[in-house]
Amino acid sequence: METRRQRTKGLAVVFDERKNIQWLPNPETGNARRSSPRTTSTEIQLCARCHSRRAQLFGDEQPREPLMDSYLPSLLVQGLYHSDGQINGEVYEYGSFIQSRMYHAGVTCSDCHEPHNGTLRGEGNAMCATCHSVEKYQATTHHHHETRSAGAACVKCHMPTKTYMIVDPRRDHSFRIPRPEVSTRLGTPNACNDCHKDKPSQWAADKVREWYRHDPKGYQQFAEALHAARGDALQAESRLVNLARDGEQPAVARATAVAELGSRLTPRSIGAVANSLHDSDPLVRAAALDALEHVQPEQRWQIAHDLLRDPVRAVRMRAAGLLAAIRTERLAPEERNQLQKASEEYLAAQKFNADDPAAWVNLGIFFVARGDSNKAEEAYRAALALDPGWVPAYVNLADLMRVTNREDEGEKILRAGIARQPKAAALHHSLGLVQVRQKNLPAALASLKRATELAPENSR
C-alpha cells in the first residue's frame, strides 16, 4: 500500500508516496489541504477517457496526452445536465467532478478509488473522513439526522444517485451542497427531496433555513445563468456574459455559457466570447470558437486565427472548421501553412467518425465554406445514405441547391425529408423559405405555420 494515514484532531494526515504529496489537516475549517499544487491532471484526464460523456475525434490517442487531443467532453447542456449542473442524462463522472470544489482543491480520482479495480479506499463516512473532520461533519449539528441513519451518510446529501437502465444507480460526483431553495425557483432536484419524496421543495428549503439560519450557497453559482439561457429569458445574455467572465466558476460551466452566447451575440457578448478564446482551459476555448459561427469570416479570422496553433488538437481543428471560408491567397505563407495543417486535422476527425451522419454534414459545411459545392453535395448525400432520416442533411443539401441555382431540386429534397420525418420543424421551416422565394406565399404561410406548431419554443 503506497498511501499511509494517521489521525490528528479528527482529521487524517495522508501521505501518498506515489504522488509525493500529503493532505494536511486544518482544524479551523475541518478540511484538509494538499501539501503541493495539483500535478495530477494527467491522471484525471486518463480516467475521463472512459468516465465521461464525450465525442471521440481521433483514434491515435496516447495515455499521457491531453484529453482534448483525442476527445471532446460534453458541456452542461439541457438533457444531459440540469441547469445547476446536476446529472440528468447518462454522463458518467468526469463532467460532474470538474464542477466540484474538491477537484479545484486538488483531489484526484485515486484519492478515493483504487485505480486498478475501482473500489473505494474506505467504507461509508470513513472515506470522507480522510479529508473532512469527523467532529465537525459527522455531528448532528451538521447533518441534523439521527446518527447511523441514511441522512447521516455523507454521500446521501452530497453525492445523490440517479438510476440508469433500471439497475445502475450512479452518484453525482460534483459533491455539491443541497440547495432546495434553488429547487423552489428553478425546478432543479435536491438531495433532501430525493429522500423526502412526499414533501415539496419549499418544505425542504424551510427546514434547511431553520437549521442553518440561511440558504446554503455552495461552490457552483451558475444555475440562474444556464436556466435563463434555456428559457431564452430577457436577462439571459447579461447573466451568461457574467458567468463566462467569472474565473471562480468551473471551466465547464463557463464553457457552457460561452457556447450559449453563440445564438445571441451582441457587441457586449462578442467581447466576452473573444476573451474566452484566450482562456487557460481548452474546453472554454473550443466553446468560444463554436460561438463565433455566425460572425463574418473576416472578423472570425481577426479574433480567432491564433488558435490554429493552439497546443490542444481539438481546439486547432475547430478553429480550422470556423475559418474554412478564409481565402488563403490573402494569407502570409506561415498563416496559410497553419490553416492547412489544422484543416487536415479537422478533416481527419470527421473521417474518423464516418459512421455518423453528423460527421458527413460537418464535411459538407466545410466544403461549402471552401467553395467546393461538388464535394459538399457528395458529403450531404453520404449522410443521407447512412441515415435517410437525418434532418440536418436534408436542410443543408436543400440550401446548397439554393446556392447553386437548383431551387426546384431543393424543394424535392425537403419534401422527401418531410415524408420521412413529418414532425421535423426545421424541414417545414426550410420549405416555407423556399416557397417564399418562389413567391408561393399561401403555401409558405402553411409551411411556416406548421413549423411553429411543431416547435413553438423556437423563436426562429
pLDDT digits (tens, 9 = 90+) for 155-194: 999 999 999 999 999 999 999 999 999 999 999 999 999 9
Cβ proximity of 71 and 54 under 8 Å: yes
Percent helix, percent strand, percent coil in the chain, to nearest 5 = 55, 10, 35
Average pLDDT value for residue range 190-205: 97
Relative to beta strand 3-8, strand 11-16 is antiparallel
36, pLDDT greater than 70: no
Cell (9 digits) for 32: 484538509
**Which of 59-63, 259-263, 332-336, 407-411 shows the lowest per-residue confidence on average (mean pLDDT)?**
59-63
pLDDT band at 26 (very low <50, low <70, confident <90, very high): confident
- Summarize pLDDT for 349-359 with one digit per residue, the tens: 999 999 999 99
User: Which domains, ranges and CATH numbers included, belong to the chain?
Assistant: 3-178 (no CATH), 354-460 (1.25.40.10)
Distance CA 355, CA 385 (A): 11
Task: Calculate what percentage of the chain has a pLDDT beyond 90.
Answer: 86
Distance CA 61, CA 70 (A): 6
Record the pTM: 0.91
Q: How far is CA 92 from CA 69, 116, 171, 318, in A?
A: 20, 18, 9, 25
**What 3-state DSSP class applies to 2?**
coil
pLDDT band at 330 (very low <50, low <70, confident <90, very high): confident
Write down the pLDDT at residue 9. 46
- Summarize pLDDT for 343-389 with one digit per residue, the tens: 999 999 999 999 999 999 999 999 999 999 999 999 999 999 999 99
419, pLDDT greater than 70: yes
Nearest to 260 by CA among 297, 227, 213: 227
